[in-house]
Amino acid sequence: MSETKITRESLVTLHYEVLLADNTVVDLEDCLLGLPVGEQTRILIPASEGFGYRTTEAIQNMPRSDFPPDLVPKPQQIIEFQTPTGESVPGMVLEVTDETVQVDFNHPLAGHDIQFIVHILDVKNPQDEGKDDEEEA
């Protein structure tokens, strides 16, 4: 019996947990590629390979007038912004004055190393469909 491994086209059944170093649970999946059925492992994903590092350039002071009059930004509030290309990005309000709103566009997981705990239960790859029937015959 050949060992089936995860590919980008695989349908995978698994149990997993993704944790920050302080045990906060998060979600991530790209490091599963190549894992076989039955594998139980813990993968450490450094910040540099996960969500990157926090940067001061991602914290911006925006004119209060850029916000709709009916929106009253408050610290710790997450607001969805549109980039010039139409992409939606979340930003967390850090500080509000009469003139400006300071917004942090760093990803909330930026700067964190992440633990990914996984147990692969089953893998079905498109190229393997029908092989079970052939092997049983």
The percent helix, strand, coil of the chain (3-state, each to 5) is: 15, 40, 45
Q: Considering only CA atoms, which of 2, 4, 3, 7 is closest in space to residue 33?
A: 7
- Tell me what the mean pLDDT of segment 8-24 comes to: 78
Residue 105: predicted pLDDT: 96
For 66-113, how does the pLDDT look when each residue is reduced to its tens digit (9 = 90+)? 999 999 999 999 999 998 899 889 999 999 999 999 999 999 889 999
- Tell me what the mean pLDDT of segment 52-67 comes to: 95
Residue 20: predicted pLDDT: 72
Domains of the chain with bracketed CATH = 11-51+111-126 (3.10.50.40), 56-104 (2.40.10.330)
More confident residue, 84 or 30: 84
Q: Is the pTM of this model over 0.85?
A: no
Alpha-carbon distance of 37 to 35, in angstroms, equals: 7
At 124, is the pLDDT very low, low, confident or very high (cuts 50, 70, 90)? confident
Residue 133: predicted pLDDT: 52
Beta bridge partners of 44: 115
Can you give 98-119 as a three-state secondary structure string?
CCEEEEECCCCCCCCCEEEEEE
Q: Which two tokens stand for residue 75?
A: 């610290």
Residue 132: predicted pLDDT: 56
User: Worst-scoring range by mean pLDDT, 27-31, 94-98, 133-137?
Assistant: 133-137
Q: In what order do the strands lie in the sheet with 59-63?
A: 59-63, 100-104, 88-96, 78-82
